[in-house]
């Protein structure tokens, strides 16, 4: 397997498995075995097993609904209905996400953003007034009704019917089996002057003291949303498991790998930054990249 971002064939790999929750939700996985791969050249990390479109549909159908929650709690004891509900109504995370988008725009884009698209943006709640002053669109195949002022596009063929000043895609690329394919799709629907914005968690399981280490998560015990005994039971269970079983995040980006990712696919980076965002379950570092199509000289 070559690095999905830079093509490097010398990868560091660790044997692991698809998590019990994900295997159970998808049911017919060919094998639970997979490898977590790390590219030392561009620092991108990913699992070598890639979900098919059908498997992704099974995993994300009625995402964070009742069935999803109870099945996940069966294996991940801390994932209670209370935690699920909090995640579904996390106003802090939304406000923080908007704050960071506004910051990146303010620092880099001087003109009015008249027509904007949120690719994969559910109901379109991420929009703030200055993004899409004339038209706001959300592309989402789930068919959820959009919030007032935002128009839904559910047919990919309709994406090209508009000329966008700004296309954003938040917290999606860490989940995608084929991130290059989606980036190509985004490229197809924008123009030479479109600004693209991608937000992903800044994650790297291969650096020491990464966000997945137990010491980094110890303060979760202080969060009243979690049942601490369930959390502790889960930690002990995790210690018997292989390193980092594959869950919903299948791609782990850093500043370097994100920069390589967009630049290798015909774009140039305008700005790339890391910011701390608060969420109801604790804080997380997010990676934001603003980029445009590379002009042919």
Piece of 37-45, 146-154, 161-169, 205-213 that binds Zn ion (CB under 5 A): 37-45
Residues 174-213 that bind Zn ion (CB under 5 A): none
Is residue 39 involved in binding Zn ion (CB under 5 A)? yes
Is residue 42 involved in binding Zn ion (CB under 5 A)? yes
Where does residue 137 rank: exposed (0-12), middle (13-18), buried (19+ CB within 10 A)?
Answer: buried
Is residue 4 involved in binding Zn ion (CB under 5 A)? no
Calpha distance 94→78 (Å, rounded): 23
Token pair for 20 = 């019990």
Beta strands in the chain (DSSP E): 11-17, 33-39, 45-47, 113-119, 131-139, 151-153, 166-170, 195-201, 251-252, 267-279, 282-293
Piece of 4-12, 55-63, 105-113, 261-269 that binds Zn ion (CB under 5 A): 4-12
Calpha distance 284→291 (Å, rounded): 23
Minimum distance of Zn ion from residue 4's CB (angstroms): 8
Q: CB nearer to Zn ion: give 189 or 198.
A: 198
Eight-class DSSP state of 150: -
Q: CB nearer to Zn ion: give 9 or 295.
A: 9
Eight-class DSSP state of 248: S
Residue pair 137/117 in contact (Cβ under 8 Å)? The answer is yes
Residue pair 44/261 in contact (Cβ under 8 Å)? The answer is yes
Is residue 8 involved in binding Zn ion (CB under 5 A)? yes
Minimum distance of Zn ion from residue 294's CB (angstroms): 19
Q: CB nearer to Zn ion: give 164 or 173.
A: 173
Is residue 3 involved in binding Zn ion (CB under 5 A)? yes
Is residue 37 involved in binding Zn ion (CB under 5 A)? no
Q: CB nearer to Zn ion: give 42 or 101.
A: 42
Beta strands in 32-165 (DSSP E): 33-39, 45-47, 113-119, 131-139, 151-153
Minimum distance of Zn ion from residue 44's CB (angstroms): 5
Calpha distance 256→183 (Å, rounded): 17
Q: CB nearer to Zn ion: give 100 or 287.
A: 287
Convert residues 156-175 into a mask of x (bound to Zn ion by CB under 5 A) and - (unbound). Answer: --------------------
Q: CB nearer to Zn ion: give 13 or 57.
A: 13
Number of residues that bind Zn ion (CB under 5 A): 8
Q: Which residues pair with 253 in a beta bridge?
A: 202
What is the H or E stretch that residue 104 is in? helix 91-108
Is residue 104 involved in binding Zn ion (CB under 5 A)? no
Minimum distance of Zn ion from residue 39's CB (angstroms): 3
Q: CB nearer to Zn ion: give 11 or 29.
A: 11
Which residues of the shown chain bind Zn ion in the complex (CB under 5 A)? 3, 5-6, 8, 39, 41-42, 44
């Amino acid at each position: 397997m070559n690095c999905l971002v830079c093509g490097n064939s010398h990868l560091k790999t660790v044997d692991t498995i698809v998590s019990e929750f994900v295997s159970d939700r998808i049911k017919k996985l060919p094998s639970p075995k997979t490898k977590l791969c790390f590219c030392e050249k561009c620092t991108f990390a990913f699992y070598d097993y890639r979900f098919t479109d059908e498997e992704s549909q099974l995993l994300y159908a009625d995402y964070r609904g009742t069935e999803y929650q109870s099945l996940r709690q069966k294996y991940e004891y801390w994932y209670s209905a209370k935690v699920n509900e909090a995640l579904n109504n996390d106003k802090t995370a939304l406000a923080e996400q908007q704050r960071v988008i506004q910051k990146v725009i303010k620092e880099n884009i001087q003109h009015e953003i008249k027509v904007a698209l949120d690719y994969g943006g559910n109901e379109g709640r991420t929009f703030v007034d200055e993004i899409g002053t004339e038209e706001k669109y959300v592309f989402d195949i789930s068919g959820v009704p959009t919030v007032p002022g935002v128009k839904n596009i559910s047919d990919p063929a309709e994406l090209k019917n508009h000329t966008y000043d700004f296309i954003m895609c938040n917290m999606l690329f860490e989940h995608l089996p084929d991130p290059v394919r989606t980036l190509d799709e985004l490229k197809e629907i924008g123009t030479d002057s479109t600004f693209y914005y991608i937000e992903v968690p800044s994650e790297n399981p291969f650096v020491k003291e990464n966000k997945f280490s137990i010491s980094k998560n110890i303060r979760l015990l202080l969060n009243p949303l979690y049942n601490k005994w369930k959390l502790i039971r889960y930690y002990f269970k995790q210690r018997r498991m292989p390193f980092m079983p594959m869950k919903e995040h299948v791609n782990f980006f850093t500043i370097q790998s994100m920069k390589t990712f967009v630049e290798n696919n015909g774009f140039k980076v305008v700005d790339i930054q890391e910011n701390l965002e608060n969420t109801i379950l604790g804080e997380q570092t997010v990676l934001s990249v603003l980029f445009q199509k590379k002009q042919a000289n």
